[in-house]
Amino acid sequence: MRSMSFFALALLLVLGASASAAGETADRPRVFSVLRLEIDPSGAELSGWQLRADFGKSDARIVGIEGGASPAFTAPPYYDPRALNGGEIVLAALARGQELPTGRTTVAVLHVEHDPSGLPPLEVSELIAVGADGDEIEAAVIQENGAE
């Protein structure tokens, strides 16, 4: 049985990726971008994860949630509407299938609307990752801007 341990968060922000085409309202210009979330389970099998985050003081907002690249996590993660209503983002997904990723893998793609100054960093306050036996495992979350 895997030992249960709390996770460490690594937050690598690859900024500077260009935001996509802009739309505009009378009040404020807005643009849309994509933010990929990757988790590195450090060699352990990743069978599920939950993340709590926000965009800090930015008014960026999620406008779509897509699944990841790994066959186990292609289904779009679920979000907690209550958290969203409170200004936070809580996402979670359980792996499907037998092939659980052990290395760095994209688990979600967030479609985000934000102001043209750039996609703000997602401030992750909590990540829980679980292994094949349901115990927590060490993992890190990485953010990448733009589509894969």
Residues that bind other proteins (CB under 8 A): 20-25, 30-34, 61-67, 74-79, 81-82, 84-85, 109, 111-113, 147
2 vs 52, which CB is nearer to other proteins?
52
Please tell me the distance from the alpha carbon of residue 55 to that of residue 124, in angstroms, as a whole number.
Answer: 9
Q: In this structure, how many other beta carbons lie within 10 angstroms of the beta carbon of residue 58?
A: 17
48 vs 77, which CB is nearer to other proteins?
77
11 vs 83, which CB is nearer to other proteins?
83
| Distance of closest approach, residue 42 Cβ to other proteins, in angstroms | 28
Please tell me the distance from the alpha carbon of residue 83 to that of residue 91, in angstroms, as a whole number.
Answer: 10
β-pair partners for 107:
none
| Distance of closest approach, residue 2 Cβ to other proteins, in angstroms | 26
| Distance of closest approach, residue 30 Cβ to other proteins, in angstroms | 6
28 vs 43, which CB is nearer to other proteins?
28
| Distance of closest approach, residue 95 Cβ to other proteins, in angstroms | 16
